[in-house]
Chain A
Amino acid sequence: MSRTFILDYDLVSAIGVGRDKVLKNINSNFSGAKKLSRFSTENLACDFGAEVTEPLAPLLGSFSESIRGACRYDRKLEMILACYVIMQQRLKSFFSDIDPLRTGLVFGLGIDISPIEELQKAIQANPELKDTYRMYQNLNATGDRVNLIGNPLDIPCTILARELNIAGFQKSALTACSASSQAVAFGAQAIRRNQADLVLVGGTDSLLNLLAMVAFAKLGIISPSDETPDKICKPLDRNRNSVLLGEGAGLMVLASESYVKSRGLRPTLEISGFGNTLDGYKITAPDPEAKGMTRAIQQALQMSEWKPEDVNYINMHGTGTMANDPLELKAIQQVFGHAAKKIAVSSTKDRHGHTIAAAGIIEICLLALAMENAVIPCTRNLQSPIREFEIDMVQSENRKVEIRKAMSNSFAFGGVNTVLAVQRI
C-alpha cells in the first residue's frame, strides 16, 4: 500500500490569492470579512461575507472565449481556473512525462446557483431574452460543450483534465461542506489502492450571490449584527450566532511513493489517513451525540496508526453556529479523552469564511502552510470559549510551535463527516 505525499498546493481565498499572501495574512490575523461589494445588498438584513476582491478575469486570458464567458456567470469556475493559472507551470511540470492513465483528478464542487443579478443585467441589455428558455438557449449558443449558464457541476473537472491530460479518472464529490475534504481523501485512496501515481485534488465554491445569500439567511445560518463584519463570526465562542459565508478555491497535488522516488523529490508532508462517515440522523440537524463525527476522527487516527497523544493540532470545521461547534468539541473530547487537553484546536472560518464545498481544500491548504511554517492560527474572534470541554482552544494570538501530526475536520450539511490526517515527514 503506497504512502500519499503532498507535493504542492495553492489557493484563492478572501485572505489572499496565492499561498504567500495567505501566509502573510494568517500571520497578521487579517480577516477577509467585509460588506459585500459584488452586488447590491440594499434591503437585505445580512450584507457581509468573505469576498475574493482581487480581480481574477485577467488571469484567464489563455482559456477559450466560451470558458471565459462561463466564468462571468460561474464564480466557482472562475476561481478554480484562476488557482490553476497561478500553479500552471508547477502543475505542467508534475504532469509531464507520466502515463496519463496513472493520473487522476478529484474535485469537491458546490451547487450551481446562477447569479440572478447578472442574468437581470443580460436581460436588460437584450429584452429578447425575456423567455426563460430563450434566455438559456441564446446565452448557451457557444458552439461547444461549455454553456454560459447552467453547466454540469463537474465542468471544472472536464476543463482541467484536458489542460493537464489527466486520463485515469475525473471525479467530482458533491457532498456540500465535506466535498473537497472527500476529494483529498478519495485522491489519497486511489494512490493507496495503486489506481494512480499522481492525483490533482481540489475544490471551489461561492455563496456570495443574491440568491444564495437570501436562501442561507432564510435558513437561519447567517444573522444580522451590529458588529463590524470582521467580528460577526465567532467560532467556538459562547456568543456565536452567525456563519460568515465565503468563497474560494484550492488545488493540491498528491503523489505515490514510486512517483516521488522516480523523480527524486523530497516532500515534507503526507496524508497519513482519513475518516469518512454519515450521521444518518436528521438532514436538518447534527447527531446530538456526535457519533458520526467521533467515528470519522477515530477512523483517521486508526488509518494513520497514531496514538491520541501524537496529535498536535486540529483545524476544526468550526462554523460559528450554535448547534455544530459544541458537538465538534464533544467529538474531539470523546476520541482523545485526557489527551485533548494538550491538543491545540482552532477554526479559521472567521478569517476566510465558510466556503462550503471548498472549505476542506482551503483548510487543508492552510493546515499545510501552518505545518510548514510552524504556526497555529488562532480562532481570531474567540473571546469567551465554550466552557464544558478540556480542550486547548487557541485564541487571541497565533502560536509559534512545530506541528508534527495534525487533522483537518469537515462536517457537512446532511451529516457527512470527513477528517484528514496530515503528518510532517
Chain B
Amino acid sequence: MPFPNHRVFVTRAEVLVPPAIGLVELTPLLLSKQSPTRTSIKETHGDISFENVKLLLNPIDKYYPPLRDAKSMRNDVIAMCMCLGKMLNGSEFDSQTWQDVPLFMATGPNASGMASEIEEICQMLLQNLDVDEGLRNKNIYSEIHPLFALKGLTNSAQAYAAQLFGFRGHNATYGSTSYGTYLAFNDAVSGIRAGEFSRAVVGASNGGGQISQVMNAGMNSFGRQFCESPVAVSLVLEAEESVVKNDLGPRCEIINISASKNLPELNVVKFEKPYVHFADAIDSTILFSGAMCEESYKMEIESLQTKSQKHFSLYPHFGSTGCASFLINIAVGYQLIHEKIFSSLDCLNRDPYTRESWVHLGTAK
C-alpha cells in the first residue's frame, strides 16, 4: 500500500430508535434478560403482513429541527437531524470545526417518508379512473404540494445536516440498502487511514414503513411477513492525531473492516446460509443484522450457533433497521466498549442482495 495506515477511532455516536430512545438508554435494553417487546401496528394486505414500528418525533424536543425547515423534511430526515443534533450538542467543537469535516451519509427508499402523499395521489387516481386526461392532469396539479419535489430530494438529510450543523466539505450520500451504509462508513475509514482527513462524520437513517416493505417483498426468501423500524444513527470517526490533539481519550478503535466480494444476488435463493464470508476472522462476541422477518432472523441465529462466540441482534427489539442496520451495530458496539461491557466486538451485516460486511471493534490501547 502506498498510503500511510492511520489508526481510526469512534469518538462519538448517537442513535434514535423507537419509540424515542437514544444510545445510552438503548444498551441496558439490549442487555436485559427480559424478553424484548416492541410496540408495533400489524397490517395485512393479501399475503403480505406488515409490522410497523413508530418513531416518535416530538416537535418540542430540544433537537427537533426548526419548524420552517421541518415542513419540507421527511420523517427520516427529521430523525437524522435530531440524531446529529444530540451527538454534536455540547461538543467541544463549534460549527467552524465541522466546516472541513467530510460528511458521509446513507439513505434507504426515500419514498418511504412520503407514503401519505403517494397514497393520496394513488387514491385520487383510483377514484378518477374514468376522467379524461386533461381533468386527471388538473386534479394531479391541485393535489401536489409545492414542497413535494423538495421533500423527495434524495440528499435531503445531507443538505439539512450541512445547513444546520455547518458541514461544508467532502461529502457523499449512498443508497439504498445497508451495503450503502457500509460504503459511507468505509469511505470515512479509508480517507482517515490514507491521511486525507483526520475526522469524518457518518450517518444513516431508515424510513421503513409500507413502501419499504412492498419494495423488499421480492427480496425476502422466506415469505412476506415483515417487521421494520424507522431509525437514525450517526457517529464521529477520528484519526489518532486528532484524538490526541483534542484529548478525547478514545476507547473504541476500528481494527478491521471488510465486505464480502460476492456479486449482489438477483435471484431468490431459498434458505441462503448467512454469514459465511468472515467465519475464520471472527473471535469476539457478534452483533449481527440483516433479517427482515422472523424466519430469516431464526436462520441467522442457526448459522451463528455453529460458531462458538456469543451473539446478539437488535432484531427482536426493532425488527429490521433497514439501510441503517450496518451503522447501528457499530454505534451500539462503540457504546458497549465505551462502557467497558465488552473489550471487543464483531459487527456483521447482510443486505437484501446478500452482500455481507464485517467490522471488528476493539478497545483502544
What is the interface of chain A, defined by CB distance below 8 A to chain B?
1, 40-44, 100-101, 109-113, 116, 119-120, 123-124, 130-137, 140-147, 150-154, 157-159, 161-162, 165-176, 179, 182, 186, 193-195, 210-212, 214-220, 276-284, 291-292, 295, 357, 412-416
Contacts and interface: CB of A to CB of B under 8 A. Distances in A.
Contacts of A142: 218
Interface in B168-201: 168-177, 179-180, 183, 190, 194
B111 A150 contact: yes
B149 interface: yes
A219 B147 CA distance: 7
B168 A145 contact: no
B109 interface: yes
Given A150-B215, A193-B190, A116 B264 contact: no
B132 to A, nearest CB: 8
Scoring B169, B175, B179, B210 by chain A CB atoms within 10 A of each residue's CB, the highest score goes to: B175
A82 B176 CA distance: 22
A215 B149 contact: yes
Given A146-B266, A280-B162, A167 B261 contact: yes
Interface in B132-166: 132-138, 140-141, 144-150, 152-156, 158-160, 162-163, 166
Interface residues of B, number: 83
A172 B149 CA distance: 20
Contact of A193 (B3, B111, B152): B3
Given A154-B177, A414-B159, A175 B125 contact: no
Given A145-B353, A278-B162, A194 B2 contact: yes
Contacts of B154: 109-111, 153, 174-176, 179, 357
B48 A144 contact: no
A283 B175 contact: no
Contact of A186 (B149, B172, B179, B211): B172
Given A44-B137, A101-B261, A130 B168 contact: no
A137 B46 contact: yes
Contact of B152 (A42, A111, A133, A152): A111
B262 interface: yes
A118 to B, nearest CB: 11
Contacts of A219: 146-147, 149-150
A154 B175 contact: yes
Interface string B252-284: 000000010111111110000000000000000
A10 B47 CA distance: 44
Scoring A43, A147, A212, A219 by chain B CB atoms within 10 A of each residue's CB, the highest score goes to: A43
A214 B140 contact: yes
B65 to A, nearest CB: 11
B362 to A, nearest CB: 24
B94 interface: no
B150 A284 contact: yes
Nearest to B152: A111
B2 A131 contact: no
B352 interface: yes
Contact of B168 (A154, A211, A279): A279
B241 interface: no
A162 B194 contact: no
Given A140-B218, A145-B218, A414 B175 contact: no
A161 B218 contact: no
Interface string B104-136: 000101110000000101110110010011111
A112 B110 CA distance: 9
Given A133-B45, A282-B163, A283-B160, A174 B155 contact: yes
Contact of A144 (B135, B170, B268): B268
A153 B259 CA distance: 21
Contact of B155 (A43, A101, A412): A412
A158 B264 contact: yes
24 contacts: A109-B154, A109-B175, A111-B154, A113-B152, A132-B119, A133-B210, A133-B214, A144-B218, A145-B267, A153-B154, A154-B176, A161-B263, A169-B259, A171-B183, A174-B173, A214-B137, A218-B145, A219-B149, A283-B156, A283-B159, A284-B150, A414-B153, A414-B159, A415-B163
B271 to A, nearest CB: 15
Given A44-B137, A211-B144, A413-B153, A151 B267 contact: no
Contact of A152 (B45, B99, B109): B109
A108 B49 CA distance: 33
A144 B268 CA distance: 5
A172 B176 CA distance: 8
Nearest to B119: A132
Report the 8 A-B pairs with minimum CB-CB distance, sorted nearest first: A414-B159, A280-B162, A133-B45, A42-B134, A40-B133, A174-B154, A152-B176, A215-B149
Scoring A123, A133, A415 by chain B CB atoms within 10 A of each residue's CB, the highest score goes to: A133
Contacts of B152: 111, 113, 215
Given A159-B266, A218-B148, A278-B158, A133 B48 contact: yes
A414 B48 CA distance: 36
A124 B129 contact: yes
Given A219-B146, A276-B170, 17 more contacts: A120-B129, A124-B129, A133-B48, A135-B122, A141-B218, A145-B218, A145-B352, A150-B215, A152-B176, A153-B109, A153-B110, A158-B353, A162-B264, A174-B154, A219-B149, A276-B171, A414-B158
Nearest to B267: A144
Contacts of B215: 147, 150-152
Contacts of B214: 133, 136-137, 140, 150
A170 B357 CA distance: 13
Contacts of A281: 163
B217 interface: yes
A249 B210 CA distance: 30
A194 B5 CA distance: 13
Contact of B174 (A150, A172, A214): A172
Contacts of A101: 261
A174 B1 contact: no
B219 A414 contact: no
Contact of A40 (B134, B147, B148, B170): B134
A198 B38 CA distance: 46
Nearest to B165: A280
Contact of A123 (B99, B111, B129): B129
Nearest to B1: A194
Given A146-B218, A211-B140, A218-B146, A278 B167 contact: yes
Contacts of A416: 155, 158-159, 171
Contacts of B265: 145
